[in-house]
Structure 1
Amino acid sequence: MIVIFGSINMDLVARVQRIARPGETVLSRRADSFFGGKGSNQAVAAARVSHGGRMRVAMAGAVGNDPFGMACLKNLEENGIDVSAIRVTDEPTGCAFITVDEAGENAITVASGANMALRSADLPDSLLSKAAVLVLQMEVPIAENLEVAARARRAGVKVVWNFAPVPPIKERSAMAELLAVTDVLVVNEHEALAVADIAGTPAGEDYLKAGSAISSSFGSICIVTAGSRGAYAIAPDGTQAHATARPIVPVDTTGAGDTFVGVLANGIAEGLEVGRAMERACAAASLSCLTAGAQAGMPKRQVLDQHLSQA
């Protein structure tokens, strides 16, 4: 089983010619709503590539007692995800406000809402004990993430931590505490540089140097995603693996990183070595960019396997 502990949002998306600069207003013809939240996205990505549901996916999260919350719960259930550990709260369901430009790039503002009410206790030991992999992100309280990760490590569950968005951590001791309970850290280029700075091993603009410093300093595998350049896995001994990204013309890159994490977690749970799991995750992330919305383009297993066989 894969367990995701994290955020659930409704995404409100507007397509624009270009993303607004500070103090500027740009017009869009319409706004569309999509299911989102990094936790929810990663859960859906993992569930869609499970072998006909044979690799179960469960989610622990929090939503509001409002139409967005009920719709998000229904969506997760329809994707075959166990929602027994999702709590309905008095806080409003989280919302993300997303603008997407003509090149498919995006800018995102998140109103956390119920996500900040999520607690470690919402994930029962009876569910966590069945997991092969626990997936975390940074859109819920850090202290709760840390507690759940520590519980997972004690139970022998592998912890995959997507360090996004970068939280306001400034002390190396706090970063060390986080990485001490992490088996695989997933960051993009900018996040890798931020983690390296916090950890006291600044790498300038060299994200691979940053990933190597993080991995060697803290003993976890660091995976750096680099958009069209693919992804790099760096082990504590300095060994590197690279997975290429498939050439595409993106429609919407929203959710590509979450697709990568969810499919990576599925591969690790199935027993693939990290390099192979990363290859599959890169291919899935590329496919996800071909459709608007964070979850709409996330591929199912048959589509992904066919794409990999043709590549």
Structure 2
Amino acid sequence: MISVFGSANMDLVAYVSEAPRRGETVTGREFRTVPGGKGANQAIAAARAGAQVAFLGAVGDDAFGAEIRDTLAAAGVDVKLLRQAPGMSGIAHIVVDDAGGNSIIVVPGANGTIGGPTGDERAVIAASQALLLQLELPMEAVIAAARAAREAAVPVILTPAPAQPLPGALLDAVTLLLPNEHEAAGITGAATPEAALDALLERVDEAVITLGSQGALYGSGSGERIRVPAVKVKAVDTTAAGDTFAGAFAVARAEGREAEDALRFASAAAALSVRCEGASTSMPTRAEIDASLS
């Protein structure tokens, strides 16, 4: 089982030819509401990639919260411990342009009410093969969840997004750090992904830097370095690519796959996700990932 302690949002997605500049108004061609949030996205990605998944987070007592809960459950994610907080669910305002790029504004809502994991949530984390974390919850809650996993000898995979300073108390409990190339550069100040990887490995045991169309780069403290190319596809919407990669990578590692095999599995999943619009709606099934690899 994989546990995900993270955010759940309703994505409010506007599709435009070109994203507006500051002070500019543009006409969109389509608008959708899609359940998302980095935590919920990673949970759905992992479930579709073949894992048993428990999601630990919070939604509001509004209509969006009910829809998010139903979407997670429909994807096969265990939501028995999903909290309900008074007020609004988390919201993400997303603009997607015709090149597949996006810009996002997140309003935390119920996500901001979460403290550390409860006793029941700690039991689920301790029974997991991996814990997936992101940074859309309060930092103290993320640190507490990471420590709970570390104490139970459960590997912790952290996606350090949205980008922000990473406290030593968090990094001390992280097994594998999974930033994209921009986040890695921001964390380390390094000019190249390779240099950023070396810097990250001074702080954690393993790291993967996703490089978009250039693939992904893996390293471990033992000196192992692996780079795999991206699967070439026409990108329609890259909103959930990173979360799909994280969920699929966690599944592959939980199944005992070596780093290179896990990277290829996750890269295939991420490539499949960018061919469709939306976040949780675009994530591939295990059968689709296996077919792509074969």
- Alpha-carbon distance in structure 1 between the residues aligned to 2:16 and 2:293: 33
Q: What is the identity, as a one-letter code, of the residue corresponding to 2:243?
A: D
Contact preservation (8 Å) 1:179, 1:220:
no
Aligned to 1:199: none
Gaps of 5+ in 2: none
Worse-superposed segment, 64-73 or 76-85: 76-85
Could you say what secondary structure the match of 1:135 adopts?
strand
Of residues 239, 253, 258 in structure 2, which corresponds to 1:268? 253
5 Å-filtered alignment, 1:60-79, equals: 60-79=56-75
Q: What is the identity, as a one-letter code, of the residue corresponding to 1:39?
A: G
Percent identity over the alignment?
40
Verify: 1:236 aligned to 2:232, yes or no: no
Aligned to 1:283: 268
Verify: 1:95 aligned to 2:81, yes or no: no
Q: What is the identity, as a one-letter code, of the residue corresponding to 1:134?
A: L
Q: What is the identity, as a one-letter code, of the residue corresponding to 2:26?
A: V
Verify: 1:211 aligned to 2:197, yes or no: yes
- Alpha-carbon distance in structure 1 between the residues aligned to 2:31 and 2:170: 37
- Alpha-carbon distance in structure 1 between the residues aligned to 2:175 and 2:17: 41
Aligned to 1:16: 16
Could you say what secondary structure the match of 1:147 adopts?
helix
Of residues 241, 251, 255 in structure 2, which corresponds to 1:256? 241
TM-score (norm 1): 0.91
Could you say what secondary structure the match of 1:121 adopts?
coil
Q: What is the identity, as a one-letter code, of the residue corresponding to 2:162?
A: P
Q: What is the identity, as a one-letter code, of the residue corresponding to 1:9?
A: N
Of residues 104, 124, 129 in structure 2, which corresponds to 1:127? 124
Verify: 1:304 aligned to 2:293, yes or no: no
Q: What is the identity, as a one-letter code, of the residue corresponding to 1:274?
A: A
Contact preservation (8 Å) 1:212, 1:235:
no
Aligned to 2:143: 146
Aligned to 2:205: 220
Cα deviation code 1:68-99 (max 9, x no counterpart)? 00000011111111111210001310111111
- Alpha-carbon distance in structure 1 between the residues aligned to 2:99 and 2:241: 15
Aligned to 2:153: 156
* Residues matched between the structures, number: 293
Deviation at 1:274, TM superposition (A): 2.1
Could you say what secondary structure the match of 1:39 adopts?
helix
Contact preservation (8 Å) 1:212, 1:222:
no
Deviation at 1:24, TM superposition (A): 1.5
Deviation at 1:239, TM superposition (A): 2.1
Of residues 179, 197, 211 in structure 1, which corresponds to 2:171? 179
Contact preservation (8 Å) 1:212, 1:238:
no
Q: What is the identity, as a one-letter code, of the residue corresponding to 1:85?
A: L
Q: What is the identity, as a one-letter code, of the residue corresponding to 2:196?
A: A
Could you say what secondary structure the match of 1:218 adopts?
coil
RMSD: 1.2
Verify: 1:166 aligned to 2:151, yes or no: no
Gaps of 5+ in 1: 197-201
Of residues 81, 86, 93 in structure 2, which corresponds to 1:85? 81
Deviation at 1:184, TM superposition (A): 0.6
Contact preservation (8 Å) 2:56, 2:121:
no
Aligned to 2:134: 137
**Residues 218 and 101 (structure 1 numbering): CA distance in 2 closer, same or farther, change over 3 Å?**
same
**Residues 85 and 224 (structure 1 numbering): CA distance in 2 closer, same or farther, change over 3 Å?**
same
Q: Stretches of 4+ moved more than 6 A in 1?
A: none
Cα deviation code 1:19-61 (max 9, x no counterpart)? 11122111113311111100000000000011xxxx3100001
Deviation at 1:117, TM superposition (A): 1.0
Deviation at 1:101, TM superposition (A): 0.7
